[in-house]
Chains A and B, each alone.
Chain A
Amino acid sequence: MLQITDLSKSFGNRMAVKGVSFHVKRGELFGLLGPNGAGKSTVISMICGLLQPDQGDVLVDGLSVQKQPVKVKEKIGVVPQDIALYGDMSALDNLLFWGQMYGLSRKNALKKAEDVLEVVGLADRKKEKLAGFSGGMKRRINIGAAIMHEPELLIMDEPTVGIDPQSRNHILEMVKSFNAKGVTVIYTSHYMEEVEYLCSRIAIMDEGEIIALGTKEELVSRLIGVSSMELKVDRVSETLVEDIKKIPGVTQVTREEEGLTIFAENPKERLGDVVLAAKGQGVAVTSLEVKEPNLETLFLTITGRKLRD
């Protein structure tokens, strides 16, 4: 469905995207995970023809975005990261407008808008101006406007940013059901939980590069034997870090605000050693917990940083 090869883009002398390659199969729910500024939106802008890449290719169904932009755009629905709708128009008028911009006739757009309003759960407020909607409601219409023309490929750029849990769940369920109907979805987020919950294949991006790519299971299996512990203490000292690093089996220690994350081959057997090390430094332990490996841990082991602060 989508083939991206060696995509690069610079803004001035900052390279936002550095040689990114991946592919998405038809029917897949593909996750693009990365912290703020990783370059996710920039990649998406290049996929939907909004930005010209400095280098590399984007093929959608074998068609080049640069060479046949209009043909490609017909297949894609884009949910932009920022709400891009007309505040002085009603929810219905917004959907009609965007549907027709994607080539629907007014009659078809009217029919489709009713369906979409049901799907996003705003049928009863369709006549109201968008300016009076809550953030979560606008987000839902923002998504609705991208699915009016029943795209084959739906690209969603952080569709749940800054909204209440209820709207968020509604959106996640919507994404699942689109995918169940056969729509290929690219879902961008910096929420590890969302991507883990939704996506079958995941690319993790950081500083313009893809640092890990595979199915959820493949990614997590890279961490087998490298689980982690979260140690909370009343104060962190450099000597404590040094002492813990000396414990056999410990592979990596990263400092957090009020404690340490400790990677070890078999953390459960090292709990005692860690507590002893803390005692040896005269530091009080407030909690110590073994963490099951997840994408967050993966990101941390690769970059030494947390996905979100």
Chain B
Amino acid sequence: MKMWLIAWKDIRHYLADKKTLLLMLLMPVILTAILGSALKGIMNGEAQSFPETTVAVSNEDTGTIGKMLVDDVLQSESLKEKIHVKTASSAVEAEKWVKEKAADVAVIIPARYSHTAEEGEKGKIRVVIDETKSTRGMIVESIVTSFASRVDVVGRTLQMVLSDIGATQPMSMETIVPEVMKDIERIANDPGTEVTGGAAGKKAATAMQYYAAAMLAMFLLFNLIQGAKSILDEQSQDTLPRLWTTPTSKGSIILGKFFGVLAFALTQFLIFVVATHYMFGVDWGNNPLQVAVLGIIYSFAVSGMSILLASLSRREQDVDTIGVMGIQVMAIIGGSMVPLAIFPDAMLYISKLTPNYWALNPLLDIMMGVEWQALLLPNLILFAFGAISLVVGTWRLRAR
């Protein structure tokens, strides 16, 4: 059928593109390795003997990430007994408190820290330590750096992938690979990895498991952009109008494009699960069938959403504007950048509006062992995401 002809053409196009293979298949595996191994500490909420510490905090950041560090990391369940946060009105005041021994450590979060983190730039949190109490200082410092580097790596990668997947000119691998290697090195040397006692996850998933699920949920989202771009590419290269002039219904043509994205998303899912399992021993739980079903339905959801995104965009730049922003927001609030476990409750509500939330959580559940029944809701919601997007998107594209 002609639908499959179009899908097959697209699949061959995706798989022949080195850039796509690197960004969509290799990058998530590398990132999982980085995040999962380097950030073990903060994930395993083992209670440790921890000296009582007073932390002076100056938070000039108006975004969510600075607040998250204060409320959900420093003041998390396991730490709030031991860490007393004193809010300073300015960086100068916080430093003064340390000097005057009114606090043991000062944590200074610069203005626009969330913003720079989300944009993938380097925002720097400063930690000022009272030299006479250096152990406490170092523990707090490593908690902070560990948190900051995680935000930083994911933020930067997200930014890089989004800008490269959007770029029409071929990406230069020479520039990307060293960048990633630098990150790996930096995080590997990060003293924060040694420290335990961060936020205790609600789940008992290991850091590796958590980030495997998170990266999988996030990287499948990139199919939204890839799929929508593929449609608009055909539009600008005049092959889409030419397809319309063939004796093929518009519906079959759009479905062909949809199945092309779906097939790639499924490939991505499968390769990622198999690779992380065999290369890093990620435990995806005891029920491969549950993983497969969720994978299929999540792939369906992102493919459907790519059709909707294409229908909302007139030109390729629109895909960038709408898609890149949308994915950034979804990646952050859907739990792919910082663990859902440290999210405040209000944030968890918003999380539920993102498809990656409904992929990440059930994946974690499956890893821990879960009944089919508990997977019904996430699967239904993901199916609805896909079906509604596909129907609305097809309808809008046909009317063009």
Interface residues of A (CB under 8 A from B): 48-50, 69-71, 73-74, 76, 78, 80, 82-89, 97-98, 100-103, 145
A49 lies within 8 A of B246 (CB)? no
- Judged by DSSP, the binding face of B is helix
Residue of A nearest to B248 (CB): A101
B239 lies within 8 A of A100 (CB)? no
Contacts of A145 in B (CB 8 A): 242
Residue of A nearest to B8 (CB): A97
With A84-B238, A89-B9, A100-B5: A50-B249 Cβ-Cβ less than 8 Å: no
Q: Which of B5, B16, B238 is within 8 Å of A82, CB to CB?
A: B238
Interface residues of B (CB under 8 A from A): 2, 5, 9, 13, 16, 237-239, 241-249
In the bound complex, how far is the Cα of B246 from the Cα of A70, in angstroms? 8
A86 lies within 8 A of B9 (CB)? yes
Q: Which of B238, B239, B246 is within 8 Å of A102, CB to CB?
A: B246
Select the residue from A48, A86, A101 with max chain B CB neighbours within 10 A: A101
A101 lies within 8 A of B243 (CB)? yes
Q: How far is the CB of B276 from chain A (nearest CB, A)?
A: 30
In the bound complex, how far is the Cα of B246 from the Cα of A49, in angstroms? 10
A80 lies within 8 A of B247 (CB)? no
Q: How far is the CB of A45 from chain B (nearest CB, A)?
A: 8
Q: Which of B239, B241, B244 is within 8 Å of A86, CB to CB?
A: B239
Residue of B nearest to A155 (CB): B245
In the bound complex, how far is the Cα of B2 from the Cα of A98, in angstroms? 10
A98 lies within 8 A of B246 (CB)? yes
A49 lies within 8 A of B245 (CB)? yes
Contacts of B245 in A (CB 8 A): 48-50, 73, 76, 78, 80
Contacts of B239 in A (CB 8 A): 84-86
Contacts of B241 in A (CB 8 A): 50, 80, 84
Contacts of B244 in A (CB 8 A): 49-50
Residue of B nearest to A142 (CB): B242
B246 lies within 8 A of A73 (CB)? yes
In the bound complex, how far is the Cα of B247 from the Cα of A76, in angstroms? 9
Contacts of A49 in B (CB 8 A): 244-245
A88 lies within 8 A of B13 (CB)? yes
In the bound complex, how far is the Cα of B243 from the Cα of A86, in angstroms? 12
Q: Which of A82, A86, A97, A102 is within 8 Å of B247, CB to CB?
A: A102
In the bound complex, how far is the Cα of B244 from the Cα of A86, in angstroms? 15
Q: How far is the CB of B38 from chain A (nearest CB, A)?
A: 38
B238 lies within 8 A of A74 (CB)? no
Q: How far is the CB of B26 from chain A (nearest CB, A)?
A: 21
In the bound complex, how far is the Cα of B242 from the Cα of A83, in angstroms? 10
Q: How far is the CB of A177 from chain B (nearest CB, A)?
A: 23
In the bound complex, how far is the Cα of B237 from the Cα of A145, in angstroms? 15
In the bound complex, how far is the Cα of B238 from the Cα of A78, in angstroms? 13
Q: How far is the CB of B133 from chain A (nearest CB, A)?
A: 62
Contacts of B243 in A (CB 8 A): 101
B246 lies within 8 A of A97 (CB)? no
Q: How far is the CB of B271 from chain A (nearest CB, A)?
A: 22
Q: Which of B16, B238, B247 is within 8 Å of A83, CB to CB?
A: B238
Given contacts A69-B247, A84-B239, A86-B9, 19 further A-B contacts (CB under 8 A): A49-B245, A50-B241, A50-B244, A50-B245, A70-B249, A74-B247, A76-B245, A78-B245, A80-B245, A84-B238, A84-B242, A86-B13, A89-B9, A98-B246, A100-B2, A100-B5, A101-B2, A101-B248, A102-B247
For chains A and B in complex, what number of residue pairs have CB atoms within 8 angstroms? Answer: 53
Contacts of A103 in B (CB 8 A): 247
In the bound complex, how far is the Cα of B160 from the Cα of A53, in angstroms? 45
Contacts of A73 in B (CB 8 A): 245-247
Residue of B nearest to A88 (CB): B13
Q: How far is the CB of A231 from chain B (nearest CB, A)?
A: 44
Residue of B nearest to A75 (CB): B247
Residue of A nearest to B242 (CB): A84
In the bound complex, how far is the Cα of B238 from the Cα of A80, in angstroms? 9
Residue of B nearest to A101 (CB): B246
Contacts of A102 in B (CB 8 A): 246-247
Q: How far is the CB of B252 from chain A (nearest CB, A)?
A: 10
Contacts of B247 in A (CB 8 A): 69-71, 73-74, 102-103
Kindly list the 8 A-B residue pairs having the minimum CB-CB distance in the complex, ordered from nearest.
Answer: A84-B238, A73-B247, A84-B242, A101-B246, A74-B247, A70-B247, A48-B245, A82-B238
B5 lies within 8 A of A101 (CB)? yes
Contacts of A97 in B (CB 8 A): 5, 9
Contacts of B249 in A (CB 8 A): 70
In the bound complex, how far is the Cα of B385 from the Cα of A242, in angstroms? 75
Contacts of A98 in B (CB 8 A): 242, 246
19 A-B pairs, CB-CB below 8 angstroms?
A49-B244, A49-B245, A69-B247, A70-B247, A70-B248, A71-B247, A73-B246, A74-B247, A78-B245, A80-B238, A80-B245, A83-B238, A84-B238, A86-B237, A86-B239, A101-B243, A102-B246, A102-B247, A103-B247
Q: How far is the CB of A66 from chain B (nearest CB, A)?
A: 14
Contacts of B242 in A (CB 8 A): 78, 80, 84, 98, 145
Q: How far is the CB of A26 from chain B (nearest CB, A)?
A: 20
Q: How far is the CB of B346 from chain A (nearest CB, A)?
A: 46
Select the residue from B2, B5, B243, B245 with max chain A CB neighbours within 10 A: B245
In the bound complex, how far is the Cα of B16 from the Cα of A102, in angstroms? 25
Q: Which of A71, A84, A100 is within 8 Å of B237, CB to CB?
A: A84
Q: How far is the CB of B139 from chain A (nearest CB, A)?
A: 54
Contacts of A78 in B (CB 8 A): 242, 245
Residue of A nearest to B12 (CB): A89
In the bound complex, how far is the Cα of B266 from the Cα of A234, in angstroms? 73
In the bound complex, how far is the Cα of B243 from the Cα of A71, in angstroms? 15
In the bound complex, how far is the Cα of B244 from the Cα of A71, in angstroms? 13
With A80-B241, A97-B5, A101-B2: A88-B248 Cβ-Cβ less than 8 Å: no
Q: How far is the CB of A249 from chain B (nearest CB, A)?
A: 50
